Amino acid sequence: MTNPDNDILVDQALASKNAMPAASEPTFSGVCSLFRRRFSKDLSAVDIATLGVPYDLSVTNRPGTRFGPRAIREASSNLSWMGAAWPWGFDPFESLTMVDYGDLLIDHGYPQSILDNVFEEVKTVLESNAFLLSMGGDHSVSYPLIRAHAEKYGPVALVQFDAHSDTWEEPDKRIDHGTMFYHAIQEGFIDSKRSVQIGIRTLNDSSHGCTILDAAYVHQHRSEDIAKKIHEVTGDGPTYVTLDIDALDPAYAPGTGTPVCGGLSTWQLQSILRLMQNINIVGMDLVEVSPPYDHAGITALAASTLLMDCICLRKARLDYLAS
């Protein structure tokens, strides 16, 4: 729908004919895709595909993350006006085509097959060679996401922003949102010697080979030093980045299942992300947004802002490689 006076489009997520930039539309109305990008299952000639994994059967505390992708999309309407993203100084959508792939089907009647089904669908998306930016869902969804990326790129380094290590050891393969990285390491999807966990503020008896930059380390060091350390650990090999919103202190992200005090500020996490242009990132996800525990929606806003930084980081990385 258009306004005859100024051609401002409404419902661009449905009406747009392509994945390139369109005019701004009111933040308070219209169909909410991520950053008002076109909904599409056609990934031909697409640089970035974003999708939601609305799943929360593996939480150990408060459920509700199945509503995360929807809340993040709605919050992103506050950031989808035309123009340069601050402080990057450019509009990533002027050169990158991005579509919202929608949500993956989660059939709760078959709980044992959900993660395998996510893996199969993600493999299909990766075959298009689009860069995948995913929204959870609880953190267990990173397991099939990383498994699919490792099948394409080989074992990946993990850069994990989180309050918890999510590598708690167990004798049997049961995956919840605190064990999936233990299994991914054991199964060879993650190269722990090239992996780094940032913002951790819970105790685990074993690092399983990962480098840990806990919350105290982050608070005591400059973002430039942290980003440099991350690159020293990951090297130039394929790297997967996962952002658990509980890496942020609950003051900045109360809407999550297992909040832990003493965490990062939104600015700290953003500033570290923005300095990771020299890292070979092959995929990213953001998880654990649980809207029922945040009446003001600031957690979803923080998540959508971080996702905009991820998109800008992708453009900056491509520019870095081209320079």
> Per-residue DSSP letters for 247-271?
GB-TTT---SSS--SS-B-HHHHHH
The reply to whether 1 falls in a domain is no
With left for phi above 0 and alpha for psi between -120 and 50, is residue 225 left, alpha or beta? alpha
Q: Is pLDDT larger for residue 30 or for residue 152?
A: 152
The reply to whether 304 falls in a domain is yes
- CATH of residue 77's domain is 3.40.800.10
- Flag whether pLDDT at 194 surpasses 90: yes
Tally of domains within the chain = 1
**What are the tens digits of pLDDT across the range 261-286?**
999 999 999 999 999 999 999 999 99
pLDDT above 70 coverage of the chain, percent:
95
Half-sphere exposure of 259 (CA within 13 A, CB side): 15
pLDDT at 26: 77
pLDDT at 28: 82
- Flag whether pLDDT at 23 surpasses 80: no
**Domain interval for residue 54:** 12-322
pTM of the model: 0.94
- As a whole number, mean pLDDT of residues 86-96 equals 92
pLDDT at 20: 61
The reply to whether 6 falls in a domain is no
- Rounded to whole angstroms, how far apart are CA atoms 57 and 200? 23
**Structure token pair of residue 186:** 């054991």
